[in-house]
Each structure stands twice: as C-alpha cells, then as structure tokens.
Amino acid sequence: MNELLVHPEIERVLLRQNEIEDRIDRVSADIAEAYRPHSFTVVPVLTGSFVFASDLVRRIPLPLELSFVWARSYRDGRSPGELELGAFPTAAEIEGRSVLLVDDILDTGRTLSSLREELLERGAADVKTCVFLDKPSRRQVEIEPDFRCFEIEDVFVVGYGLDFGGRYRNLPVVAALRPQGDAAGG
Ligand code: 5GP
Ligand code: MG
C-alpha cells in the first residue's frame, strides 16, 4: 500500500497501474498509426502531464521531437483560476511541424484550446491533442481530444502527475479526492 493513499483526503482509487499501462499501450499505437511515417513534435503541458507524456512517448516507435509548454489554471485547491500560459517552444521548434499537444486532463477545455490557438499562431502546421483523462461534463469551451485514455465523471482527481496543492503528483495511480467538507473515515 502506498502511504500517500492512506491520507484522509483520498477517497478511493479510480485507475490502477495495470489499467493505465494497458490503455496507454493502445493509445500510443493509435498515435503511431495516425502519424506514421511522418515526424512530429510532442508538446506536453507542464507540470501535470510529465508522467503521462513520459509513459506515452516511450511507447511511440517513431522519430518524434519533444518540447514543452507550461500552463496553470488551478492556483490552489480545486477550482479553476485565471489561466496562465508560458514557456512556449521557440519558433524553430514548431514552425511548419505537426504538433501533438499532450495534457493530463481536459476539464473546461480552456487550457488546451488556448494552447492550440497559440501554437497555430506561432506557425505549427497542425495541432492534434492527446489527453490522459477527459471530464466531458465540465466542458465550457468546445473541444474534443483527438486521443484520450480515459473518460471520467466530475470528481477531482490526483496522482499520475495530477496534484492537489502541489502534492500527490508522484502517486502511481489515479485517486479521487474526498468531496470538500466531507469528514474523513468510514
Ligand atoms: P481546463 O483548462 O480544461 O479547465 O483545465 C485543465 C487543467 O486543469 C488540467 O491541466 C489540470 O491541471 C487542471 N485540472 C482539471 N481537473 C483536474 C482534476 O480533477 N484534478 C487535478 N489535479 N487537476 C485538474
Ligand atoms: Mg495542467
């Protein structure tokens, strides 16, 4: 048992390691099939997608390149704040390239749709999106991921890169946080 999971904030495990791995095997094969034989650039959104992106790219046997963007919408806690974007790839890294934007979770859709626009404005030839988790019930901006591992209900999740106040990113599973105000135990 991972000691992080014993914390009273954690309600239950939603996705276990073997389920996650099996699903990423499948999605990475779909991605390879979609791009082969072309080269492309994978752009993970930091910080949350670092675990997913690392598992994903190691399963894609094509000559891809990597460069990172940084975005933050959850200041502290569970509700989206103002969206901050930064640390974009240089023009040389994306101009004329096919880009695969990779994020941990697609929630309201604001982050991915803003980043997609921004990368196209900076000269990417085309931008596809790949998300580890998708919460379609929370969408505010019209966007559908090109590749997605799991669709989940509207619960706040942590682990596998996703944090709560900076913690739990190193949890190797995806867990749901206990709803706010709920007493722990039972
Ligand atoms: P969007 O812009 O689609 O609303 O938000 C996407 C970002 O919000 C994700 O990259 C992630 O950082 C954060 N986010 C959305 N839902 C969750 C969640 O359930 N747990 C955590 N830890 N972060 C979330
Ligand atoms: Mg994020």
Mean pLDDT in consecutive groups of 10 residues from the start of the chain, 186 residues: 87 97 98 95 96 98 95 72 83 94 96 95 97 97 97 97 95 94 56
What single-letter DSSP state applies at residue 78?
S
The residues near 183 (Cβ < 8 Å, ≥ 6 apart) are none
Partners of residue 127 on adjacent β-strands: 99
CA–centroid distance, 37 to ligand 1, in Å, is 32
Residues with C-beta less than 6 Å from any ligand 1 atom: 48, 73-74, 80, 103-111, 156-158, 162-164
Give the ligand with the smallest distance to the CA of 162.
1
**pLDDT, position 186:** 41
Catalytic residues: 107
Q: In ligand 1, which atom is closest to the CA atom of 114?
A: 2
pLDDT of residue 62: 95
- For residue range 115-132, what is the model confidence (pLDDT) as tens digits? 999 999 999 999 999 999
Ligand located closest to 161 CA: 1
User: In this predicted structure, what is the pLDDT of residue 179?
Assistant: 87
Helix, strand and coil content of the chain, in percent to the nearest 5, comes to 25, 30, 45
47 C-alpha to center of ligand 2: Å? Answer: 6
C-alpha separations of 111 from 45, 48, 50, 103, 182 in Å: 9, 12, 16, 9, 29
From the alpha carbon of 108, which atom of ligand 1 is closest? 4
CA of 106 to the centre of ligand 1 (A): 6
